């Protein structure tokens, strides 16, 4: 298969409700969609979720420089195997540094197109194994006011949720955690501070919160660059630190491992460069005895949600998928077609079932291009 065209387009979709944490609040989802077209008719889709505070990329960066540069590099390339595609992706990762949201979009689109060309699912690039789907990890965010946290948690417990993360960084964190504990009792909770504290503040606050709730881990309590602070927090509180914004590429992984600064790596395809880059990160974590956790990007469409679902079923070591099926419950409308059997889903029984190992060629998504057009911002960039 020879790549004969690449397209980039910006879509903006309203959220059903706003989403807020210590670093950002959003009421709509912005994504850059990548389409890779092969000369054999294959048409691969990828998604870029730029976050300036995560990978340093903005939508302007993606559409103005980073995306066009990768499109030009990909145009005219030929791929006849998974290994040829993954070698190209590794070379792009080495050449383009930490612009990993952009890399993710091209990773998904290329692997989707190659899979269609080969007649194989993306799982084949990861060894061919596909296990059961992961349970949903749910998040209690700041969009739920403290007086309503207990009621919200009650609905989560009734629906069988067992993997709970609570956003922290407010003055009434203790009250909010107490409300969660009232419902979930002794269930260990994952906390996420989104870099709200300094290292000293984190140590003091976490010691206080340990008396309120059983804490399984603390995700990114401080600035991403403060690796020594992460080590201190883990050592002085005894709470496992989960590195998120501090973990972007393999160089970050090596620094965290060498500093004994994180017991858990939070892997997100949209943050870590897509399927292949995330696969390499997970392998390094397992070799070092570091646990791995799988998350999503708030506001992602069904393209990225589907990729996360597939990745979670192929990569060993994940207990749940945070934000699973959010394209169904968070977006006003998704870009995957109603007739598609491959929409990533929540536990809503009205959404089509995901039955058995993934076997559709490539990523297995059907994008509704009419919906894409209706939510496009600006023109399509074609190469």
**Range scoring the smallest mean pLDDT among 162-176, 275-289, 308-322, 352-366:** 352-366
The residues of the chain that CATH labels 3.30.390.10 are 3-119+365-382
Distance from C-alpha of 15 to C-alpha of 10, rounded to nearest angstrom = 16
Does 358 have pLDDT greater than 90?
Answer: no
Average pLDDT, the chain: 92
- Total H helices, total E strands in the chain: 14, 12
CATH superfamily entry for domain 3-119+365-382: Enolase-like, N-terminal domain (3.30.390.10)
Q: Are 239 and 208 in contact (CB under 8 A)?
A: no
Say which DSSP state 364 is in: -
Query: Nearest CA to 325 among 310, 311, 309?
Result: 309
Confidence bin at 6 (pLDDT 50/70/90)? very high
Query: What pLDDT is recorded for position 338?
Result: 63
The residues of the chain that CATH labels 3.20.20.120 are 126-329
Distance from C-alpha of 163 to C-alpha of 216, rounded to nearest angstrom = 10
Residue that wins the pLDDT comparison between 16 and 107: 107
Q: Which residues pair with 190 in a beta bridge?
A: 165, 217
Percent of the chain at pLDDT above 90? Answer: 85
Query: What pLDDT is recorded for position 96?
Result: 84
Query: What pLDDT is recorded for position 91?
Result: 96
Does 299 have pLDDT greater than 80?
Answer: yes
Query: What pLDDT is recorded for position 352?
Result: 37
Q: Is 355 exposed, middle or buried (0-12, 13-18, 19+ CB in 10 A)?
A: exposed
CATH number for the domain formed by residue range(s) 126-329: 3.20.20.120
- Alpha helix locations (H) across the chain? 59-61, 67-74, 82-96, 100-118, 146-158, 173-184, 199-209, 227-237, 250-259, 269-272, 275-288, 302-314, 326-329, 369-374
Place of tokens 């899979």: 115
Say which DSSP state 362 is in: B
Query: What pLDDT is recorded for position 37?
Result: 98
Confidence bin at 354 (pLDDT 50/70/90)? very low
- Mean pLDDT for 104-120 is 98
- Mean pLDDT for 274-278 is 98
Distance from C-alpha of 300 to C-alpha of 309, rounded to nearest angstrom = 13
Say which DSSP state 123 is in: G
**Range scoring the smallest mean pLDDT among 181-195, 203-217, 262-276, 331-345:** 331-345
Q: Is 292 exposed, middle or buried (0-12, 13-18, 19+ CB in 10 A)?
A: buried
Residue that wins the pLDDT comparison between 80 and 95: 80
Query: What pLDDT is recorded for position 98?
Result: 85
- Mean pLDDT for 260-285 is 98
pLDDT per residue as tens digits for the range 99-108: 999 999 999 9
Does 359 have pLDDT greater than 80?
Answer: no
Distance from C-alpha of 346 to C-alpha of 32, rounded to nearest angstrom = 23
Residue that wins the pLDDT comparison between 383 and 28: 383
Query: What pLDDT is recorded for position 327?
Result: 87
Query: What pLDDT is recorded for position 22?
Result: 56
- Mean pLDDT for 302-328 is 94
**Range scoring the smallest mean pLDDT among 110-114, 277-281, 348-352:** 348-352
Collapse the DSSP code of 164 into the 3-class scheme (helix H, G, I; strand E, B; otherwise coil) and give the result.
strand
Q: What angle do CA 280, 285, 286 make, to 5 degrees?
A: 100
Collapse the DSSP code of 177 into the 3-class scheme (helix H, G, I; strand E, B; otherwise coil) and give the result.
helix
């Amino acid at each position: 298969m020879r790549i004969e065209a690449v397209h980039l387009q910006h879509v903006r979709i309203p959220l059903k409700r706003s989403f807020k944490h210590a670093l950002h609040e959003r009421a709509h989802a912005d994504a850059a969609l990548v389409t890779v077209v092969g000369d054999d008719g294959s048409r691969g889709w990828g998604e870029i979720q730029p976050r300036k505070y995560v990978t340093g990329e903005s939508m302007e960066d993606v559409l103005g420089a980073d995306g066009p540069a990768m499109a030009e590099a990909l145009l005219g390339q030929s791929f006849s195997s998974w290994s040829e595609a993954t070698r190209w992706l590794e070379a792009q990762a080495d050449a383009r540094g930490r612009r990993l949201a952009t890399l993710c979009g091209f990773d998904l689109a290329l692997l989707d197109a190659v899979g269609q060309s080969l007649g194989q699912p993306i799982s084949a690039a990861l060894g061919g194994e596909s296990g059961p789907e992961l349970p949903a990890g749910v998040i209690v965010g700041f969009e739920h006011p403290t007086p309503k946290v207990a009621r919200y948690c009650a609905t989560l417990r009734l629906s069988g949720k067992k993997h709970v993360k609570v956003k922290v960084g407010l003055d009434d964190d203790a009250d909010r955690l107490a409300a969660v504990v009232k419902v979930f009792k002794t269930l260990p909770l994952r906390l996420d501070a989104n870099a709200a504290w300094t290292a000293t503040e984190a140590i003091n606050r976490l010691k206080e919160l340990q008396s309120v709730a059983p804490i399984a881990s603390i995700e990114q309590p401080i600035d991403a660059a403060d690796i020594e602070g992460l080590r201190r927090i883990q050592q002085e509180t005894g709470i496992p630190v989960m590195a998120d914004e501090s973990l972007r590429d393999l160089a970050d992984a090596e620094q965290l491992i060498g500093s004994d600064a994180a017991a858990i790596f939070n892997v997100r395809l949209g943050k870590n460069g897509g399927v292949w880059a995330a696969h390499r990160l997970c392998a390094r974590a397992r070799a070092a005895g570091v646990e791995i956790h799988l998350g999503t990007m708030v506001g992602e469409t069904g393209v990225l949600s589907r990729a996360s679902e597939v990745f979670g079923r192929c990569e060993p070591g994940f207990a749940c998928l945070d934000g699973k099926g959010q394209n169904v419950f968070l977006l006003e409308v998704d870009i995957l077609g109603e007739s598609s059997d491959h929409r990533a889903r929540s536990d809503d029984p009205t959404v089509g079932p995901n039955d058995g190992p993934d076997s559709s060629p490539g990523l297995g998504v059907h994008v509704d291009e009419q919906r894409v057009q209706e939510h496009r911002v600006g023109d399509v960039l074609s190469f």
